[in-house]
Amino acid sequence: MSPDTPPVALWTHGWYAPARQVRSPNFGPRPAQACIDLLVVHSISLPPGVYGGPEVEQLFTNRLDWDADPYFQTIQGLQVSAHFFIRRDGALVQFVGCDDRAWHAGTSSYRGRENCNDDSIGVELEGLEGDTFTPAQYQSLADLVQAIAHHYPLAHMAGHEHIAPGRKLDPGPGFQWSALLPLLANLSISAPATKNN
């Protein structure tokens, strides 16, 4: 890059340049005055425990073949999304711009607020509740959190299990907050107290 070349913007209308974009139709506007200060960590694999396929991207873009696997019949018609998806090798995919409201949290409450979709960013890790996650995923997540925190007023992180207790269990005990938090030591972000911290 020559000295006269302007730097590439990391963020454009909520889209993060280093992520591969696969745009989901499952989103909407955030409420007026929403403060985007929460990041929610999820886990997903389709079928459960199967990694590396296109099914998660197909689900988030309403293109999943419901007849391709018996499990898909149990979620048929589901219209969901997340802002980001981190694959087992650390590859980052973005489905919804962070300025918009993705459909990832469902009925939820955290830090005294209901409807966490309104003011959170949802990140799905390719994985299974109770399974472990890869070093590449922790590093990719940490890099993403750093970038988000420099662009949005991020102050809290939680798992889906913390914002919807009793209804959701992900990312589960296999997710090691203790592996992530040292990578974020320069940030002032609260995280849930968990047994694996």
User: Known catalytic residues?
Assistant: 124
> H or E segment at 11?
strand 11-12
CB 84 within 8 A of CB 92: yes
Give the bridge partners for 156, in sequence order.
38, 190
Of 21, 53, 137, 142, residue with least CA distance to 89: 137
Give the bridge partners for 123, in sequence order.
41, 84
Q: Strand 100-102 relative to strand 27-29: parallel, antiparallel, unpaired?
A: antiparallel
Distance of alpha carbon 151 from alpha carbon 169, whole angstroms: 29
Distance of alpha carbon 146 from alpha carbon 165, whole angstroms: 27
